[in-house]
Amino acid sequence: MVTSHTDAFVESARRVDAVVTPTTADEFAATLEDAVTEPAVGTPLPFEGASYDGTPVDGAPTGAALAEAATGVTAGAAAIADYGSVVLQETGAGEELLGLYPDRHVVVVAASDVVPDMPAAFEELGERFAEGPRDAILATGPSATADMGAVVKGVHGPRDVHVLLLEDR
Amino acid sequence: MSDSRRQKAARIRSLIETEGDAVFENTTTFNDGRYESVQKLDDYEELKSRARAIKEDAIADLPDLVEQVRETVEGNGGTVYLAEDEADAQRYIAEVVADRDADSVVKSKSMTSEEIEINEHLESKGVDVWETDLGEFVLQVADEAPSHIVAPAIHRSRENIAELFNAHFETDAPLETAEDLTEFAREYLAEQIKDADVGMTGANFVTADTGTIALVTSEGNARKSVATTDTHVAVAGVEKIVPSLGDLQPFVELIGRSGTGQDITAYVSLLTPPVGTPVPDFEDDETPLAEVDDDRDYHLVLIDNGRMAMRDDDDLRETLYCIRCSACANSCANFQHVGGHAFGGETYSGGIATGWEAGVHGEDSAAEFNDLCTGCSRCVNQCPVEIDIPWINTVVRDRINRGADPDSFDFLVEGLTPDAEPAGLDVQKRFFGNFETAAKLGSATAPLSNWMMEAGPVRSALERFVGVDGRRDLPTFERETFREWFADRGARVDPADATREVVLYPDVYTNYVSTARGKAAVRALESLDVHVTVPGVGESGRAPLSQGMVSTASEKASRVYGALAEHIDAGRDVVVVEPSDLAMFAREYERLLPEQSHERLAERSYEVMEYLYGLLENGGDPAALANGSEAVAYHSHCQQRTLGLEAHTVAVLERLGHDVVTSDVECCGMAGSFGYKQEYYDLSMDVGDELAAQFTTDGTRDRTVVASGTSCLEQLDSLLQRVPTHPVELVAPR
Ligand code: SF4
């Protein structure tokens, strides 16, 4: 579902150095393949019609596979238009690890999960936390530091963040 | 100069030389970023007020919230320990680490963990502790303390860090760029994180309803430290608790903007430990992560260490609302020039550190740097929880004064100091706090007093015993005071013909030193048909208050109010030339007078250019004032800007035909008596140089310099070849 929030999200996510690619369930496999560098690992995607079938992504990775991975693919629970942030949620499958260790993080978000602003995001988080699981990250662009005398992207977390926006979900 | 003044001056000078440039570059980048970022928020003021209200309520309910957190966290499968003090926290954490059989702990950045000196303690037990935040890692390698509460290594440049790393790690090829350094630290620390058994974090917030901790970070090291180890220790001051998850929203929107000027930092982690992330085994190539069988352990260590006592302290309580964003440090001119190694105590640095250090480590730690807060108030509007940081500094200064040795040596200023302060008060503070008495005497005996003051023996005695720096020009007193001049001359607009009636407040400088600006104010007001009176009112209390002499300031406030109340009742407005005195009426009197008295006076008081602006807006004839087409460089005054009154001066000058550019430094560096003090002279000049630079560019070099505050005028006079004037002198008809 494409709304004005979706457009606003695309704009602000690009401002914070995330790469955003709009796609659809039909085109998903092809878009994903373009977005990952191999080896790639992923956690389950809760979007109908979007899966790792026909892609090089290992959908049930071990710790060793994670250590080798160049890309981690996870679902985003929501996205915040004002900030260009994605809401990452740990479900027990290791989303937190996949979004953190590999150099590239590919986040798949449904356009209908884009909320306009922070109050809306917290409303949504409140509902999610009431049902559990209760670990979430508001992630905005790649990890960064200015501690070494200039801004550097890619510190302990990913260097690149790609958001695949499922326009028909 | 006394030994301690000399030592302090030398230390400040050396920090300006070694760390000043890097600190300045970083803090001013954060500061500019903050102005830019908060401007994008439509509801900035409202967000701040909400954040403030949440903190006020949370601190009021703190004992209940602590119990609620305990229940929630235990329900989640974690443990809560309320540590009474540093030793108690150290002991508990060491036990957790020992129980886990851990020989290595990885940490993300946490000032509270620095407060309880947990690294040293664990290391003494043979445990390796690794700081994984890159800034903290630099400090760990260098064995240094943070110079900033958010960006701990801002006092080091890239070159400097490269030198440090190359010497310390004996890398194959020398590290050079920020990318090299980051890459090296990332790899090095990744190993430590993989090997560690315990992950230690702080918590920016703890929610009582869900037991969630919020961590505001950029690098991802806090996330990694938690996700990769199976035992999580979170250390948080008790004041970090807020009632609910939903309460986090205003803070999440404000904290990054207020700190480093980012709309939001890369990661805001909302973790409800023990977290649901599988503990990774990077060697395991059989078990999918989703099927890993693990057992995570979580300990939330809430630190009291004086905080509950701060909660009972009417003046220090506000400190507990602090979310440690660093805006008060970044917006502070003195901090921008020396950083936290001078402007800080045992753990905390910046303006609010006075409250934290006094509360958790005691007044001695606060006394080390408290004088560096000049009360300029630039931080006040920047604080996301609306803390009156200068007031906390003033109160603690008062307490330090009262704790001073009563036998110390102050014969010199006796008789000049009819104050309500304890014996033993620092002679320098007493001298500046009683400036009104000196000014009265100086004026009555001028010009003799002026010659005397400049005479060698007196200057050297002032320097030696009082600590008045010999490199500063002293104010020159006028024999005829402004009030005497006005009494002789009389009002020239009859009340019957007047549009408004005002009392022009004769502040000490206008009355005894810069009488010209008072006279100009009278002419300007009268040209717009205002009836002016200049009543006999004493000093506002600004001078003693700035020295921490609160009871003397209170007495003065009462007297000023007493003298002005009748005028206000008679329908007269109060017009003030000196911004620091107007700020007393508008801000500090709230603390010194009954609420109603403060409100009445504050509502009816105006800065002189603000008043002229209002008169012109209400149909006053600009042609009655002196019009011109000068190119003007205007430096407003710190406290005037905090009150939002810079724009009025600019508008009046422009309306009268002038072309105006303004400075954008936070403070001129003089800040009342600060720049006269021997131990701070160098710092005040270093701060002032920035203003001088702005007024000597190609576009400003030939402009007429105007400034609103007395101390700014004096500072500009010493910094520039041009003689600056007060704007009212530019607009008053001759
Ligand atoms: S006092 Fe206010 S501005 Fe200063 S660090 Fe605390 S919250 Fe930030």
| pLDDT tens per residue across span B248-270 | 999 999 999 999 999 999 999 99
pLDDT score for B654: 96
With a CB-CB cutoff of 8 Å, which residues 90-109 of chain A face chain B? 90-97, 100-101
CA-to-CA separations, B96 to B102, B203, B231, B301, in angstroms, rounded: 9, 18, 9, 11
Tell me whether 0.85 is exceeded by the ipTM. yes
pLDDT score for B416: 53
- B461 pLDDT band (50/70/90 cuts)? confident
Domain of residue A8, residue span: 4-166
Strands A114-115 and B213-217, by their bridges, are: unpaired
Domains detected in chain B: 58-308 (3.40.50.10420), 482-731 (no CATH)
H-run or E-run covering B533? strand B530-533
> What are phi and psi for residue A79, nearest 5 degrees?
-140, 150
pLDDT exceeds cutoff 50 at B412: no
Nearest CA in chain B to A134: B272
Contacts of B277 in chain A (CB under 8 A): 90, 92, 94-97, 135
Nearest CA in chain B to A44: B290
- Between A155-169, B6-20, B440-454, the lowest mean confidence (pLDDT) is in B440-454
pLDDT exceeds cutoff 90 at B501: yes
Average pLDDT over residues B292-318: 96
CB B300 within 8 A of CB B213: yes
Contacts of A100 in chain B (CB under 8 A): 220, 223-224, 227
Check if B151 has its Cβ closer than 6 Å to any atom of ligand 1: no
- Of B54, B216, B325, best ligand 1 pocket probe by most atoms within 8 Å of the beta carbon: B325
Check if B322 has its Cβ closer than 6 Å to any atom of ligand 1: yes
B420 touches chain A (CB under 8 A): no
- B414 pLDDT band (50/70/90 cuts)? very low
pLDDT score for B413: 46
| pLDDT tens per residue across span B542-580 | 999 999 999 999 999 999 999 999 999 999 999 999 999
B404 touches chain A (CB under 8 A): no
H-run or E-run covering B20? helix B20-39
Looking at the structure of chain A, the number of domains it has is 1
- Between A21-25, A78-82, B410-414, the lowest mean confidence (pLDDT) is in B410-414
B287 touches chain A (CB under 8 A): yes
Selected residue of B177, B189, B218, B296 to mutate for chain A interface (largest A Cβ count, 10 A):
B218
pTM exceeding 0.90: yes
Atom of ligand 1 nearest to the CA of B319: 1
CATH code for the domain of A79:
3.40.50.10420
CA-to-CA separations, B105 to A97, B88, B502, in angstroms, rounded: 19, 19, 68
Kindly write down the DSSP assignment for every residue of A2-53, as one continuous string.
Answer: --HHHHHHHHHHHHTT-EEEEE-TTTHHHHHHHH--SSEEE----STT--ST
pLDDT exceeds cutoff 90 at B220: yes
| pLDDT tens per residue across span A26-39 | 999 999 999 999 99
pLDDT exceeds cutoff 80 at B55: yes
Tokens at A70, concatenated: 């160049």
Burial of B498 (0-12, 13-18, 19+ CB in 10 A): middle
B626 touches chain A (CB under 8 A): no
Nearest CA in chain A to B215: A137
Contacts of A66 in chain B (CB under 8 A): 280, 282, 289
Kindly write down the DSSP assignment for every residue of B231-291, as one continuous string.
Answer: EEEEEEEGGGEES-GGGHHHHHHHHHHHHTS-SS-SEEEEE-SSPSSPPP-TT-SSSBGGG
The reply to whether residue B132 touches residue A93, judged by beta carbons under 8 angstroms, is no
A68: nearest Cα among A111, A37, A24:
A37
pLDDT exceeds cutoff 80 at A1: no
pLDDT score for B404: 66
pLDDT exceeds cutoff 50 at B410: no
With a CB-CB cutoff of 8 Å, which residues 133-172 of chain B face chain A? 133-135, 138, 151, 153, 156-161
- B500 pLDDT band (50/70/90 cuts)? very high
- Mean pLDDT of chain A, nearest integer: 94
Check if B111 has its Cβ closer than 6 Å to any atom of ligand 1: no
What order of strands is seen across the sheet that includes strand B297-303?
Answer: B79-83, B297-303, B231-237, B198-201, B104-107, B128-131
pLDDT score for B401: 87
Centroid of chain to Cα B348 = 13
The reply to whether residue B275 touches residue A125, judged by beta carbons under 8 angstroms, is no
Average pLDDT over residues B56-79: 98
Average pLDDT over residues B638-644: 93
pLDDT score for B411: 43
Atom of ligand 1 nearest to the CA of B327: 3
pLDDT score for B409: 41
The reply to whether residue B223 touches residue A126, judged by beta carbons under 8 angstroms, is no
Check if B387 has its Cβ closer than 6 Å to any atom of ligand 1: yes
- A2 pLDDT band (50/70/90 cuts)? low
Tokens at B7, concatenated: 């030592």
Q: Quick one: what percent of chain B has pLDDT higher than 90?
A: 83
pLDDT score for B628: 87
pLDDT score for B675: 86
Tokens at B343, concatenated: 């402007």
From B562's Cα to the closest Cα of chain A, the distance in A is 48
pLDDT exceeds cutoff 60 at B288: yes
The reply to whether residue A62 touches residue B284, judged by beta carbons under 8 angstroms, is yes
Residues in contact with B486: Cβ distance below 8 Å, sequence separation at least 6, in sequence order: B518, B522, B532, B534
B280 touches chain A (CB under 8 A): yes
- Of B319, B328, B386, best ligand 1 pocket probe by most atoms within 8 Å of the beta carbon: B328
Check if B324 has its Cβ closer than 6 Å to any atom of ligand 1: yes
- B465 pLDDT band (50/70/90 cuts)? confident
pLDDT score for B532: 98
| pLDDT tens per residue across span B164-184 | 999 999 888 899 999 999 999
